[in-house]
Amino acid sequence: MLCHLRDAWTRCISEDGELGWTAMSNNQFGLVIHGGAGAIDRKKLTPKREEEYRDALEQSLKAGFEVLSRGGPSLDAVEAAVRVMEDDPHFNAGKGAVFTSAGTHELDACIMDGKTLKAGAVVSLKSIRNPISLARLLMEESPHLMLDCAGAEAFAKEHGIESVDQKYFFTQERWDALQRVQEAARKGENNFVVSDQDRHGTVGAVAVDQAGNLAAATSTGGMTNKRPGRVGDSPIIGAGTYANNATCAVSATGDGEYFIRATAAHDISALMEYRGMSVEQASQSVLEKVRKLGGTGGLIAIDAKGGLALLFNTNGMYRGHVDQAGKFVVDIYR
Ligand code: ASP
């Protein structure tokens, strides 16, 4: 079952205490974030843990809002919002990234500028603290769009980008998840025996700025127990990430293989461009296409007029939104 956030948001953290949904009008800025469709089983989420997630999402929104409210570009806003989540061990990106089947970490990230259709993507990084900033640098300082591990890390070194030891990414929780997923695999159990939280995660942000420019950014550790070298949808333009001023900006989370096969992010843009669908209709249609293929996950999207979509077909999706009135909304479940 698809869940639309407009029906689901119940908690507003704005000062006025107003609850619910705010649609933006033309020429206003806005930012939407997700922290992955791998939400913890609701019954297992303690109030303390829930508060931690909500605070982390709020910090991410604040970082992006700060940029947009002073008239900064959407590219800066999505990068800032994603960096906060990369640095936060609660999310599967940067610190807190999931483990590969070899017990290592490999990170993918992508950023796209809706105004120029320029993009930067880095895959299978092993030692970059903030992959999203490396993707941005690649977009701006290189003729190339995508670099893999060795090339990307050499490029990072040339530009003085901060690198860290693999140990930096370690969290006990992700290690335990690897053990559970590997145990399920040994027993030949279906993937779906494993919880969403153990399988999924990724962080992403989409924004429209005061000039009407759109941007999208996605960063991930990928899927728990992935083979080393496996690349998901997050760094693939048109699959997990896409931005085009003519239509929308999208960031996805979920079973990457299915989002790639569905060319999910670009399909949303294409449905808007060629069929005249709203961002909400197009997003629903594409997530349904992913589901029919057998994929689970979610996505966030925004258009230049502030239309939003926040959809998922999992238990929940860590997510949040802020508009130019400074109304912050965060939520996890339906
Ligand atoms: N989409 C990510 C990947 O396939 C993982 C996720 O969001 O759950 O690498």
Predicted TM-score (pTM) of the model is 0.91
Q: Which atom of ligand 1 lies closest to the CA of 202?
A: 7
Tell me which amino acid residue 171 is: T
217 and 204 Cβ atoms separated by less than 8 Å: yes
The pLDDT value recorded for residue 193 is: 57
31 and 68 Cβ atoms separated by less than 8 Å: yes
Pairing of strands 146-147, 119-125: parallel
Out of 22, 100, 202, 314, the active site residue is 202
Q: Ligand 1, from 33, 253, 311: best to mutate by most atoms within 8 Å of Cβ?
A: 253
Residue with CA at minimum distance from ligand 1 atom 9: 222
323 and 30 Cβ atoms separated by less than 8 Å: yes
- 270-326 per-position pLDDT tens digit: 999 999 999 999 999 999 999 999 999 999 999 999 899 999 999 899 999 998 899
Structure tokens at 163: 């690198």
The pLDDT value recorded for residue 334 is: 84
**Which burial class, exposed, middle or buried, applies to 276 when counting CB atoms under 10 A from its CB (0-12, 13-18, 19+)?**
exposed
Pairing of strands 297-303, 248-254: antiparallel
- 19-41 per-position pLDDT tens digit: 233 344 445 899 999 999 978 88
Average pLDDT over residues 254-268: 98
User: Is 116 tagged catalytic?
Assistant: no
Q: Ligand 1, from 200, 231, 257, 259: best to mutate by most atoms within 8 Å of Cβ?
A: 200
Average pLDDT over residues 205-233: 97
- Ligand 1 neighbours by CB, cut-off 6 Å: 36, 38, 200-202, 220, 222-223, 232-234, 240, 253-254, 256
Measuring CA to CA, which residue among 81, 37, 106 is closest to residue 253? 37
In this predicted structure, the answer to whether residue 197 has a pLDDT above a threshold of 80 is no
Measuring CA to CA, which residue among 210, 236, 230, 202 is closest to residue 111? 236
| C-alpha span between 13 and 29 (Å, rounded) | 18
For ligand 1, the distance from its centroid to the CA atom of residue 94, given in whole angstroms, is 13
Average pLDDT over residues 134-151: 98
